[in-house]
Structure 1
Amino acid sequence: MQNVFEFETRSLHSLVKVFPDEELRNASYSQGSALRGETFTFQIAYRAPALTKPILVNVSSTLHDGAITLREVGLAPSELPCQRRHDENVLRVTPGLYPDPLYPIHGERGVVGIHYQWRSIWVTVELDEETSAGEYAITVQFATMTGEMLGEESFQLAVIPAVLPSQTLIHTEWFHADCLANYYRVEVFSEAHWELIEQYLQTAVRHGMNMVLTPHFTPPLDTQVGGERPTVQLVDVRKEADSTYEFGFDRLLRWIELCDRVGIRYFEFSHLFTQWGAKHAPKVVAMEQEEQRRIFGWETDATGEAYKSFLGQYLSALTVFLREQGLEHRCYFHISDEPLLEHMPWYRSASELMQAHLGDFPIIDALTNVEYYEQGLVKGPIPANDHIEPFLERGVPDLWTYYCCVQYRQVSNRFFNMPSARNRIIGVQLYKFQIAGFLHWGYNFWNTQYSLQAIDPYRVTDAGRSFPSGDAFLVYPGEEGPIESIRMEVFYEGLQDLRALQLLESLVGRDRVLALIEEELAEPISFSRYPLDAEWLLGLRERVNREISIATESSRKGESYDS
């Protein structure tokens, strides 16, 4: 709406990215629906005719107190917004400022209106499972410090009489414990570090992450050959004179107990061989002759007897510990990340060694070539979403998928410059193809490529001009804990879409749901072919909610769904 002072507001759905330097073309979005137990988000865009500060922002609603949070959508710089050979499904390709971080709005500090720049407020509605079904009004108001009303927008949210089911998808965003210690300047595994780990994992769990990369040894990921990242080793090692080893698991147990406390269900033990080839060992430090020293690393031949002997002793001790803790059904292991075909001899050696010692513990790895699965070298392959078709054709059970910086043509991803619908569509794709897990490498990677330097994520969002902005991290480091991002919120909306589709399937059957998804589409949905517009995705979710409501009411009355 617009008043005499020309202060403008507009209610928008969550898939709009509001740029300060362009006109707002999106129509008003003022009503939607959600299930009990769901997190629902939308935005209120605003524009002031002159520099105006502070602008106080308040919300009122018929929902219970505490259900609604307001945050300011901030701008983040990008020098590298996309790859050179990008497709056409992007918002812009130029370097500049992109909407992404979600900043808390602190009381009387309010927000600022800047000379006809559109900005937006992110509205988060958290519905608990006991929320009564019905219509709820939400009103967001803008005012000056003196109480002069500048503008307001109202939104109508319908709560469906059904509870969003629990997430079954296993979801991991790689957690970089060393980046927390670097940025906040705390000692690794000090009490301050443990507090940060818990804060950041709590935020991850609230957004659907239920598995965590667990650094039993410092993960050999994104590390320059010959270089090393700060030691974040959870397992204590003592090397004896006869090359036998003793292992201490106290710190690992604390990690597990923390994860249990915040809601992490699965443990993804970090890779035991180096990235892109499995030729070397990760950094392992041990007490040897009463001195702490690195005993394995880039100089270690992964096929040599010394490392084989160490791994045999370690995996035997670790699996005993995990079974004693009752964790045998919650733990996964990695060999080496993203091996290519030419790396197969080294990967084969590593795979045979690990399979001999791990028994039934699952081994998973991100890779491209289906030959690794066909030859039995990895039973849990994780192909990228642009290389998944051969794995689907072979009917790989419990298949996972992932994407990273090189998945930028046709498929879903979440770079700064991509439409948010391209981020959220992953939920429908995961549902259709019954994907068991999703992996991404960058929850909080606040380094340049190869970890040559730590970076300030508020200034560098592309890993030092190496990966498109939006690839390396989902959260920013705040003074009081993690600052979430638009991309994180929208990805979670996709996970909630997946759960809503699963709920509808339990009520009406899978064939009916698949037909609902693809009705009136020119071609079936795949990982590379899908509707691009946000309105289709939002409309699908409204249809799903409506069908859930009808089926739930029919069940309550003892009637068949068709009636």
Structure 2
Amino acid sequence: PWAVARYHGVKPFSPEHYRLLEPIYRELGGAGQKALTVTITDLPWNHQNFDAYHTLIPRVKNKDGNWTFDYALFDEYVAFGRRCGIGPHIHCYTMATWGNRVSYTDGQTGDTVRPVIRPGTPEHEAYWGPFLQDFQRHLKRNGWLDDTYIAMDERGPEDTRATADCVKKFAPRLKIAMPGNHPPSHFKGIELANYCQFIGHIDAPFLKEAAQRRAQAKITTFYVCCGPRRPNTFTSSPTAEPVWLGLYAAANGLDGFLRWSFVNWPRDPLFDSSFGPWPAGDTFLLYPGPRSSVRWEMLRDGIEETEKIRALRAKGDLAPSLRDALAEFDFKRAEKMDDATLAALVQRVRLGIEAATAE
């Protein structure tokens, strides 16, 4: 949300800001977005964005050493996201920040303090433990507890375990969500209720794990970001690639798809869609206005086709020709396809869906 406020020159989370956010968030809600990302510390991804991300739950350390947490903005933002159709999940980033830096206000001086505390240390537990206990009580009062996850981003087993242990100790009803670069089995003994795998690391053993997780009512999805080169949703990506990504989840029995940013605009996205070292278009799919993009419309088409496939599969109406086409949705194969071959595969699936739904 901070990019929208900065670009339009409005105060973050003011009525004017929410007015500008609403059509963007309704676009996401209409496409089936299941999780609202909220920040519970400043700079959870360090300086990966043009605009700094700040906490939605300011905290003050009082003179007596106790903490005060202000949930007003968090509550307002979650309620807004739900009115726009996003949810029911709430993903809270993060207790394992990139760089291990956190922040709070010193109640005596009013200064912002930014210590570096690593998961698994006494300092980490002292900082997060009181918050988790209070946060769990607050979520329960609001009726949001069962929908809320403490989220981490591409953390290794050591930090993930330490964070999960801290959550289990102080707020055992909160769940863990994480996009990562390893299969869930790499995190032995850690309960990952929602796990998102980078597409480049998906293989047959991972898909077997995903099926086992589904039987346990756990969520398993996949993501792309600044990589791979293809298939992706960059400004330069051929139009069939976002559709292919939308279809990939249904083809491989996964629960959904994550793209790390929707409107994380660079300085002037209407002039230049690039930011930092990443491919142009990596940080956003919608332009200011909001104006749509071809790549967003194609991704949404793929997501809609996926829902049709789920419905056909549930009814037992998946024709052999459609099943055969979906069996070819393999990342390693797609990475080496030329544009025409990938587009032809997507078209085979679309024609198969059209034929099945017309009967």
Instruction: Please tell me the TM-score bracket, short chain as reference.
Output: 0.7 to 0.9
Matched with 1:383 is 197
Q: Secondary structure of 2:146's partner?
A: coil
Aligned residue identity for 1:461: S
1:274 to 90, 94, 97: 97
* 1:540 equivalent in alignment to 2:349: yes
Q: Number of aligned residue pairs: give it.
A: 345
Kindly name which structure, 1 or 2, has the bigger radius of gyration based on alpha carbons.
1
Shift of 1:394: 3.2
The alpha-carbon distance between structure 1 residues 313 and 431, as it changes in their structure 2 partners (threshold 3 A), is same
- Describe how 1:35-50 pairs up with structure 2 within 5 A: none
* 1:186 to partner: Cα distance: 1.9
* Matches of 2:175 and 2:233, distance apart in 1: 29
The structure-2 alpha-carbon separation of the partners of 1:503 and 1:238, relative to structure 1 and needing over 3 Å to count, comes to same
Alignment partner, residue 456 of structure 1: 268
* Contact 2:235/2:280 (<8 A) preserved: yes
Given the superposition, is the C-alpha separation of residues 302 and 293 from structure 1 closer, same or farther in structure 2, using an over 3 Å criterion? Answer: farther
CA RMSD of aligned residues (A): 2.7
Q: Is the helix fraction higher in 1 or 2?
A: 2
The yes-or-no answer on 1:323 pairing with 2:135 is no
Shift of the 503–301 alpha-carbon distance from structure 1 to 2, 3 Å rule, reads: closer
Which residue is equivalent to 1:309? Answer: 126
Aligned partners of 2:167 and 2:174 also within 8 Å? no
Cα 1:204–1:219 change in 2 (3 A) is farther
Q: Is the 8 A contact 1:219 1:271 kept in 2?
A: no
CA displacement at 1:507 relative to structure 2: 2.6
Instruction: Provide the C-alpha distance between the structure 2 equivalents of 1:332 and 1:437, rounded to a whole number of angstroms.
Output: 17
Give secondary structure in 2 for the equivalent of 1:394: helix
2:79 corresponds in structure 1 to 257
Indicate if the aligned counterparts of 2:154 and 2:181 stay in contact, CA closer than 8 A: yes
Counterpart code for 2:164: S
**What's the counterpart of residue 256 of structure 2?**
437
Question: What pairs with 1:5-24 in structure 2 (closer than 5 Å)?
Answer: none
Distance 1:204 1:330, change over 3 A: same
**Counterpart amino acid of residue 499 in structure 1:** E
1:279-322 deviations in Å (ceiling 9; x for gaps):
5133x333512x5432334x344444333112111111111111
| Preserved contact between residue 196 and residue 220 of structure 2 (Cα < 8 Å) | yes
Is structure 2 residue 19 aligned with structure 1 residue 206? no
Partner SS, residue 212 of structure 1: strand
Asked if residue 237 in structure 1 is aligned to residue 56 in structure 2, the reply is no
Instruction: Determine the structure 2 residue equivalent to 1:477.
Output: 288
Query: Partner of 1:41 in structure 2?
Result: none
TM-score normalised per structure 2: 0.86
Distance 1:391 1:520, change over 3 A: closer
In the alignment, what sits opposite 2:294?
A: 486
More strand by share: 1
Q: Calculate the TM-score normalised by the size of structure 1.
A: 0.56
Q: How far 1:221 sits from its partner (Å)?
A: 1.4
Give 1:496's aligned amino acid. E
Aligned residue in 1 for 2:112: 294
Q: What is aligned with 1:152?
A: none
1:474–1:229 distance in 2 versus 1, CA, 3 Å: closer
Hey, what does 2:216 align to over in structure 1? none
Is the alpha carbon distance of 1:495 and 1:377 closer, same or farther for their aligned partners in structure 2, counting shifts above 3 Å?
Answer: same
For 1:460, the aligned partner's letter is D
Offset of residue 443 of structure 1:
0.9
Task: Name which of structure 1's ranges 491-500 and 177-186 shifts more when overlaid on structure 2.
Answer: 177-186
Secondary structure of the equivalent of 2:11? coil
**1:428/1:344 CA distance change after superposition, 3 Å:** closer
RCO higher in structure (CA 8 A, sep ≥6): 1
* In structure 1, distance between residues paired with 2:79 and 2:195: 28
Contact 2:50 2:265 (C-alpha < 8 Å) held by counterparts: no
- 2:104 alignment counterpart: 285
Return the alpha-carbon distance in structure 2 between the equivalents of residues 518 and 358 of structure 1: 43
Unaligned runs of at least 5 residues, structure 1:
1-176, 448-454, 551-563
The answer to whether the 8 A contact 1:217-1:235 is kept is yes
CA distance in 2 between counterparts of 1:416 and 1:391 reads: 30
Q: Which residue of 1 aligns with 2:221?
A: 400
> Could you tell me the percent identity over the aligned residues?
21
Change (3 A) 1:371 1:323: closer
Q: Check conservation: 2:46, 2:97, Cα contact below 8 A.
A: no
Q: Which residue of 2 aligns with 1:418?
A: 237
Instruction: Write out aligned runs for 1:214-229 (5 A).
Output: 214-223=38-47
SS at match of 2:149: strand
Following the alignment from structure 1 to structure 2, what is the Cα–Cα distance between the partners of residues 219 and 359?
25
CA separation of 1:199/1:215 partners in 2, compared to 1, >3 Å: closer, same or farther? farther
* 1:549 Cα deviation from its structure 2 partner: 3.1
The structural deviation recorded for 1:520 is 7.3
| Distance in 1 of aligned mates of 2:131 and 2:221 | 28
One-letter amino acid of the structure 2 residue matched with residue 462 of structure 1: S
- After superposition, the Cα gap between the structure-2 partners of 1:496 and 1:184, relative to the gap in structure 1 and judged at 3 Å, is same
Q: How far, CA to CA, are the matches of 1:402 and 1:256 in structure 2? A: 23
Aligned amino acid, residue 28 of structure 2:
A
Q: Aligned with 1:238: secondary structure?
A: strand
Asked if the contact 1:286/1:293 (under 8 Å) is kept, the reply is yes
Contact 1:285/1:292 (CA < 8 Å) preserved in 2? no
Aligned-partner SS, 1:399: strand
Rate the CA distance shift 1:251–1:280 in 2: closer, same or farther, 3 A.
same
